[in-house]
Structure 1
Amino acid sequence: MQLLIFILAYPFLWLVSKLPFRLLYMVSDAVRILVYHIFGYRKKVVRTNLKLAFPEKSASELKAIEKEFYKHMCDMFLEMIKTMSISEKEMQKRFSFTNLDLILQLEKEKSILLMFPHYASWEWVIALNKHIESKGYAVYKKISNVHFDRLMRSIREKFGTTLIETKETPATIISNKRKKIKSMYGFLSDQSPLPSRTNYWSDFMKIKVPVHTGAETLAKRLDLAVVFLKVEKLKRGYYSASFEVLAEHPKELEGFQITDLFLRETEKQIEEDPAYYFWTHRRWKHRNKVPEKFRD
């Protein structure tokens, strides 16, 4: 069944990837009508999240953010498909970096752990691999359909990035460190872990939630510089990214300080332009399960 679904879907995905961007966004507009207006995909989750994150905003303000979010979400989904056939030149034009000198200088000294949230276009961060000297890795969650997982890997590895599953990450970093291979590891660190699998809760958009601390743990254990990647959407189909060092020497920072710094930077992005955060994630679903020791 998995193979059949893939065989039926792949020709359509390939044809969409060949569309010029002007037509691609026409398709995106049509998809938005289906996703938002007809099927109402996760509309209840999005509205709940927006109300939690912005209790001070009016109903009309939240509605405007909601509509813009669905437009962006559909754009990003189509852009991900477009990556199947996009050229390196086109990618570099549409996803630029403003302060590459910072990262290029830092990578001469040590390997880097790059933290970023589900904001703007995290899929096109793969463009970075063509600018750095380090070996690029991206930590990802495997898709249950093996055929789509293979396709997703080929898309995300198109410009030389190597995908590794979460469970493979520590061994990969240790091996590269032992072999003295300078590397850069990309972590999407804003997802919601199970309460039973986290040892730290922190405020995110003023709501106490469990947070992933694996990136900080690995950085301290293996002496990786920690950098926050801020991605901004300039206009439809164009993004700009910049870097900010959170910890060059992570062992010098207190416990969970790096994690909190990441959350604060993510909050700043969301508050600047909330429509480009990925509101379909149930990021605050465990807010009513805060352990006693983490309550204010």
Structure 2
Amino acid sequence: MQLAVYCLVYPLLWMISKLPWRIFYFFSTCIYVLVYYIIGYRRKTVTENLQLAFPEKDEKEINRIRKASYKHMCDMFLEMIRSLSISEKEIVKRFHITNLNALVALEDKNKSIITMMGHYNSYEWTNSIDLISKFRCVGIYKPIKNKYFDKLVHRIRGRFNSRLIPSAKVFREMTMDQRQENPELSLYGLISDQSPKLNNATFWIDFMGIEVPAFVGGEVLSRRLGLSIFYLHVEKVKRGYYEATLVPISEDPQNEDEYAITEKFTRLLEEQIRQKPENYLWTHKRWKHRDAAPSKNPIAS
């Protein structure tokens, strides 16, 4: 059954990835109409999340942000599919690194780094960094149950020599990487605004005015491995074009106060969300544990 579904869907995905850009984004708009108006995918969740994060905004503004966020989400999904066939020249043009000199300076140190990212703007095209630097992008991902689509994700996100590590193996594999005699120069990308399971929650933080458990994997890894850690600040210039800037969080994580790295990442992401909330992925249940914060746990505000 898994193979049958894959064989039916893959040719369609390939054809979509080859569409001229104007038709490609027209198709994305059609998907938006289907997802938002007809299917109503997670509309209740998105509305609740927006109302929680922006209690000061009226219904009209909430609706505007909600519609715009669905349009952006559909573009993101289609852009991932586009990665099946996008050329090296095209992806570098569309995902521009503003401070390339910072990458060059990091290359000279010959030491791998960690970048923390949120579900904000584009994170699907960050593997373009492989094409303009000596760093090999390493993405952390959650495997898909359908093994054929899981291989497809590897193919899409592993283009341009990028590498993927399953989330369940990230601590072991990154540790093994850095213990090698001559470790490969890697840029580890971590999506760090997920909601951890309650039994794994060690730190709670005020995020968009709401107390939630924080994902601290980036901080733990940077401390354990002694790797400099950055925030990837991505802005959407216009449809299909992004600018990314490496913002230093800590060059000496082992001497940072506990949870200081997680706190700084959260504030940087929060600042972007408040500026353009429509470019955040509001469909995931980031605030589902908001009422479960134990008073004995550390909480940052």
Query: What band does the TM-score fall into relative to the shorter chain?
Result: over 0.9
In structure 2, the residue matched to 1:290 is 293
- Aligned partner of 1:2 in structure 2 is 2
2:236 maps to amino acid: K
Identify the range of structure 1 (152-161 vs 134-143) with the bigger mean alpha-carbon deviation: 134-143
The amino acid of 1:162's aligned partner reads R
1:183 aligned residue:
186
Q: Which runs of 5+ in 1 are unaligned?
A: none
- Give the distance between the partners of 1:54 and 1:137, measured in 2 at CA: 34
Q: Is the 8 A contact 1:176 1:183 kept in 2?
A: no
Task: Check conservation: 1:134, 1:183, Cα contact below 8 A.
Answer: yes
Contact 1:95 1:239 in 2 (8 A): yes
Structure 1 contact 192–212 (Cα < 8 Å) conserved: yes
The match for 1:78 is 78
One-letter identity of the residue aligned with 1:285? K
| Superposition TM-score, scaled by structure 1 size | 0.97
Residue 178 (structure 1) shift: 2.2
Q: How does 1:149-164 map to 2 (within 5 A)?
A: 149-164=150-165
Match of 1:249 in 2: 252
Superposed CA deviations along residues 118-170 of structure 1, whole A, max 9, x for unmatched, are 11111111111112212321111111111001001100011111000123222
Aligned pair count reads 296
Q: What RMSD in Å do the two structures reach over aligned CA positions?
A: 1.2
Give the structure 2 partner of residue 168 of structure 1: 169
What's the CA shift string for 1:200-250, capped at 9, x where partnerless?
111111110011111111100110100100111111111110011100010
More displaced 10-residue stretch of structure 1: 103-112 or 261-270: 103-112
Residue in structure 2 matched with residue 69 of structure 1 by the alignment: 69
Residues 191 and 283 in structure 1, CA contact (< 8 A), matched pair in contact too: yes
Q: Distance in 1 between matches of 2:108 and 2:176?
A: 18
The separation in 2 between residues aligned to 1:293 and 1:62, in whole angstroms, is 34
Aligned match for 1:209, one of 212, 218, 222: 212
8 Å CA contact retained: 2:129, 2:135: no
Q: Specify the SS of the correspondent of 1:153.
A: helix
1:168 & 1:104 partners in 2: Cα distance? 29
Paired letter, 1:111: S
Give the 3-state SS of the residue equivalent to 1:81 in structure 2: helix
Q: Does the CA contact (< 8 Å) of 2:94 and 2:242 recur in 1?
A: yes
Q: Is residue 141–residue 166 contact of structure 1 (8 Å, CA) maintained in 2? A: yes
> Are 2:262 and 1:259 equivalent residues in the alignment?
yes
Q: Which moved more, 1:38-47 or 1:158-167?
A: 158-167
8 Å Cα contact 2:143/2:166 also seen in 1: yes
Q: Runs (4+) of structure 1 moved beyond 3 Å?
A: none
Q: Name the SS of the counterpart of 1:228 in structure 2.
A: strand
Three-state SS of the structure 2 residue aligned to 1:130 is helix
Residue of structure 2 equivalent to 1:140: 141
Shift of 1:94: 0.8
TM-score (norm 2): 0.96
Q: Residue type matched to 2:154 in 1?
A: R
Task: Determine the structure 2 residue equivalent to 1:123.
Answer: 124
